[in-house]
Every structure is written in structure tokens, then in C-alpha cells.
Amino acid sequence: MISRGEALALPQSKLRNDRLVKHSLAVEAIMRKLAERLGEDGELWGLVGLLHDVDYEETSSNPEIHGLRSAEILEGLLPQEALDAIKAHNELTGYRCDSRLSYALATSDQFSGLIVASALVMPNKKLSEVKLSTLKKKLKQKDFARGVNREKIISLPEKLGLTLDEFLELSLKALQSISGDLGL
């Protein structure tokens, strides 16, 4: 399996947009915390979070292959279960979440955007200003973070055995722990 250092070089080399690299770091942080909470392999789960979007810019004009191309790039570097989760995080590929790892990635991917967007509207644009109540309020606002599919994601934490509040709190703490890397 690829090391974290080698893995970090991939999004940094394949993604020109710094926001996408930071998104990858955010998803990695949530995935590591989830793995710890659920008794899973934190290294593997973190790598899946870090590498899930390495093809994002390459596939931007053909979104139905986003995730499939990442899996091709990562073939031989990650186990098959990780490649399958990466394929399934984008429903347009035709792959569906069918494992804890794939549900965790889909959930972390969606909620990381909501948490970062919440921080960006805070007075000082800092994750330390975001509270669980902030996230719950923002989740109810349909015009906030429009790219987040609320109907889809509300039930995803349950598939991991967590309540929505537990997942949000865990995710917020994960992102706060790397706030310096995220510039938030």
C-alpha cells in the first residue's frame, strides 16, 4: 500500500486548484477520525479520503468517469475495497456504496463541504467559530452550500451506526484539528 507521504504527492501534483487539495485533506481527516471511532484501519481510510479526487480536474468535463479514473491511477497502490469506495463516491459512475468504507467516503466527502462553507461565512472565517448548532442550522438552509445533496446525506451517518449529530461533531473536530492546513 502507498505511504501517506507518497499519497500526499498525488493530489498536490494532479490538482492545480489549491481548494481541491485542501478538500482532499479535509476528507482524509474526517475518514481517519471515523476509522478510529468505528474500529477500522485509520491509515487505509485516511488514504482513501486523501486520494478520492485525484482525477477531479482531469475528469471535470466528463463527470460520469470521475472516480473511475482515480481508481485507474491508484491501481496497485490501494487494495480493491479502497478502489471500489472511490468509484462509488460519485453516483454518476454507476457504482453504489455497499461497504462501510464506501459509505464513509461518500458521507465525509459531502459533509466536509458543508463544514468548510460554514467556516467561510463566520466573522473570522475560522473553523474554531463553527459549532454543532451552526452546522445543523446551515444544513436546514437550502440556499447554503447548494452543492450538498441534503436528502442524500442526512441518512448516510446512520449507515455507519452514527447519529447525524455524532457524525457532524466528529467531522467538525477532525477539521478543526487540521485548521492550519486548511487555512481556516
| Measured CA distances, 119 to 19, 49, 94, 114 (Å) | 14, 20, 33, 9
Q: What is the rounded distance in angstroms from the CA atom of residue 176 to the CA atom of residue 121? A: 16
Q: How far apart are CA 142 and CA 138, in angstroms?
A: 8
pLDDT in tens, 42-76: 999 999 999 999 999 999 999 999 999 999 999 99
Residue 151: the pLDDT is: 76
DSSP assignment of 125-167 equals --GGG--HHHHHHHHH-TTSSTTS-HHHHTTHHHHTT--HHHH
Q: What average pLDDT is seen over the chain?
A: 95
Q: pLDDT tens across 21-31, in order?
A: 999 999 999 99
Query: Is residue 14 over pLDDT 90?
Result: yes
In the chain the domains, ranked by start, together with CATH numbers, are 4-182 (1.10.3210.10)
What digits encode the pLDDT tens for the residues 126-163? 999 999 999 999 998 988 888 777 877 888 899 999 99
> Grid coordinates representing 41?
484501519
Distances in whole angstroms, Cα of residue 124 to Cα of each of 130, 139, 146, 182? 10, 20, 22, 14
DSSP 70-83: HHHHHBTTB-HHHH
pTM as predicted: 0.96
